[in-house]
């Protein structure tokens, strides 16, 4: 799933905002996108709106009732997505809340809606959206494990990570999530990132009894995170079912909870993305620079680029950091205001 275009009008004080994610030269959706703006420019509102609209394909009526009503009439939000349903077939899906614009598609589009009651919050989608809705239902219910329709991963700014939980091996086999939002309020061992990493570690030990060269998701995670760590490395899982970090000078071990706030952010990002990314995912991150110094910001964008390339995925970052903006091509930067120019003057 890739976002081609998004249009907001009247959402939380935004007069009108339209962002096109299609490269005008290549006529292809850009896989890397950085939206730059000051506080109050609408960056977070944009990501929240994209997440809410896309998630309604799964949550349906209940989602409309629980969603932030600011995206519904008289405000409106329209998204145009590109969904690869097979290696040879790509569909354009349009979703809209509130009033909607005429869809910018080459063919006639019929719209259907969850609720046609007068005065009710509206959510509409075109016929390709109706087809996608059926595929999502099959994937979420486990009826079809082979669908490559992608999914949405969203990391808002309130993403403090917890690594002070304890437990034993739990079944953390990844399940399809159409719209995943990181929840910093999760306070149980089961379902936590560390529990998932412990499960992956022990699963790989069993896999290697049959195949000594079986790939290890835990080792992939450790290799990516260790690029950021200085003088220490994630090395193992202890007998207490805690991920171990080794001081490379003293060889003493510590838990993930002993890492700095910036190191924990990297563990969170890489761990949760590896856990949830699928072929064709769309990843949204609000201000990834929080707790990361500029060098790490650049390494993170490079790491995320490689992860997305391996899965034909797209990422959209919002930022106030010139270092994040400098980590991609100028054509991949969307400026909502003059923040970058002010930072160089």
Spell out the domains of the chain, with CATH numbers in brackets. 1-151+281-345 (3.40.50), 162-177+184-277 (no CATH)
Has residue 101 got a pLDDT over 80?
no
Has residue 281 got a pLDDT over 70?
yes
d(CA 96, CA 99): 7
Query: How would you label 259-284 residue by residue, b for 16+ Cβ within 10 Å and e otherwise?
Result: beeebbbbbbbbbbbbbbbbebbbbb
Has residue 106 got a pLDDT over 50?
no
d(CA 277, CA 313): 8
What per-residue confidence (pLDDT) applies to 88? 66
Contact 11, 70 (CB under 8 A): yes
**Three-state DSSP class for residue 128:** helix
- Omega of the bond leading into 74 within 30 degrees of 0 (cis): yes
Has residue 341 got a pLDDT over 50?
yes
Q: What is the CA radius of gyration of the chain?
A: 21
Q: What percent of the chain is predicted at pLDDT more than 90?
A: 66
The mean-pLDDT minimum among 13-27, 82-96, 261-275, 294-308 falls in 82-96
- DSSP code at position 331: G
Residue 200: which residues within 8 A CB-CB, separation 6 or more? 172, 216, 217, 218, 221
Task: Return the higher-pLDDT residue of 99 and 1.
Answer: 1
The mean-pLDDT minimum among 146-150, 229-233, 242-246 falls in 146-150
Has residue 44 got a pLDDT over 90?
yes
d(CA 286, CA 295): 18
Q: What percent of the chain is predicted at pLDDT more than 70?
A: 92
The model carries a pTM of 0.93
Contact 139, 176 (CB under 8 A): yes
Determine the average pLDDT of the residues in 232-256. Answer: 97
d(CA 62, CA 56): 9
What per-residue confidence (pLDDT) applies to 327? 97
């Amino acid at each position: 799933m890739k976002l081609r275009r998004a249009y907001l009008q009247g959402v939380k004080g935004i007069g009108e905002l339209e962002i096109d994610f299609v490269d005008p030269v290549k006529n292809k959706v850009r896989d890397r996108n950085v939206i730059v703006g000051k506080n109050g420019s609408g960056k977070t509102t944009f990501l929240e709106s994209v997440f809410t609209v896309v998630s309604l394909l799964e949550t349906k009526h209940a989602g409309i009732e629980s969603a932030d009503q600011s995206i519904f009439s008289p405000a409106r939000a329209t998204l145009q997505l590109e969904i690869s349903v097979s290696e040879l077939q790509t569909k354009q899906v349009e979703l809209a809340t509130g009033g909607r614009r005429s869809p910018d598609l080459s063919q006639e589009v019929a719209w259907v809606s969850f609720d046609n009651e007068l005065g009710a919050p509206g959510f509409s989608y075109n016929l390709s959206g109706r087809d996608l809705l059926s595929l999502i239902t099959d994937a979420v219910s486990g009826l079809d494990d082979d669908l490559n329709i992608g999914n949405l991963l969203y990391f808002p700014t309130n993403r403090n990570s917890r690594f002070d939980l304890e437990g034993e091996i739990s079944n953390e086999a990844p399940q399809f999530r159409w719209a995943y939002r990181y929840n910093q309020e999760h306070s149980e061992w089961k379902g936590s990132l560390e529990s998932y990493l412990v499960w992956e570690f022990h699963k790989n030990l069993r896999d290697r009894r049959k195949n000594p060269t079986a790939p290890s998701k835990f080792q992939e995670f450790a290799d990516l995170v260790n690029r950021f760590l200085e003088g220490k490395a994630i090395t193992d899982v202890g007998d207490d079912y805690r991920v171990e970090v080794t001081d490379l000078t003293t060889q003493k071990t510590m838990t993930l909870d002993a890492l700095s706030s910036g190191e924990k952010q990297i563990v969170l990002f890489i761990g949760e993305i590896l856990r949830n990314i699928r072929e064709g995912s769309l990843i949204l991150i609000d201000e990834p620079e929080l707790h990361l110094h500029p060098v790490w910001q650049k390494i993170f964008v490079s790491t995320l680029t490689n992860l997305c390339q391996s899965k034909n995925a797209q990422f959209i970052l919002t930022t106030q950091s010139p270092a994040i903006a400098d980590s991609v091509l100028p054509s991949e930067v969307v400026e909502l205001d003059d923040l970058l120019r002010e930072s160089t003057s």
